[in-house]
Amino acid sequence: MMRIITGTAKGKRLETLEGEATRPTSERIKEAIFSSIQFEVENRRVLDLFAGSGQMGLEALSRGAGRATFIDSSREAMEIVKKNAKFTGLDDRCHYLVSDFRNYIRKASGREQYDLVFIDPPYAMECCADAANILAEREVIIPGALVVLESGTEEIDPADPRLSGYEVIKSTHYGKKTFVNILVYHGREEEN
């Protein structure tokens, strides 16, 4: 079982989806991520793009984020997110949608903007850089947004053209299977 580390829902235990469909972020990694961004969470608009159990978005809400949108392609996972949000008492600041990440970003373009995004897809998808690129292209994030990428074999290269407008502010490798990169989005130059 996972738990909320600190904030208004500190210590509340979270459920996860049974089986191998989702891979929850370990408490050690979650704690390291939030230690790195702890002074940048308050009042942020959060997008938890591959929500799973919702633990990253819920942790941000517990620490003072303004609201959170949870996206997952699994209906079963989204039911777990809703249950966890209700149990932690944070559900009044949550929005939920069952959707593929690309479809959600396309539909959110021009309607939603976020300034804290968690991108933690199933490792086999290797789509962190693509998701970050599409968020920027569709202007679903604003300059100054923090984007946390958690990946397996997909190494994030700051020179990757898909990451134009981003700056990697922290890059860490945990064990043999987990890369965590925290990026700040500065915006993209207008193309001539």
Any domain includes 191 = no
pLDDT in 10s for each residue of the chain, 192 residues: 789 999 999 999 999 987 655 667 888 899 999 999 999 999 999 999 999 999 999 999 999 999 999 999 999 999 999 999 999 999 999 999 999 999 999 999 999 999 999 999 987 888 999 999 999 999 999 999 999 999 988 888 989 999 999 999 999 988 878 899 999 999 987 543
Residue 190 lies in a domain: no
With H, G, I as helix, E, B as strand and everything else as coil, classify residue 190.
coil
The DSSP code for 167 is: E
Cα–Cα distance measured from residue 42 to residue 62, given in angstroms and rounded to the nearest whole number: 10
**pTM for the predicted model, two decimal places:** 0.94
User: If phi over 0 gives left and psi between -120 and 50 gives alpha, with beta otherwise, what is residue 77?
Assistant: alpha
Check: CB of residue 3 under 8 Å from CB of residue 58: no
Q: How many domains in the chain?
A: 1
CA 57 – CA 51 distance, rounded (Å) = 8
Whole-number Å distance between alpha carbons of 83 and 131: 26
Find the domain containing 136 and state its range: 2-185
Residue 73: exposed, middle, or buried by beta-carbon count in 10 A (0-12, 13-18, 19+)? middle
Q: Residue 19 domain-assigned?
A: yes
CATH code: domain of residue 176 = 3.40.50.150
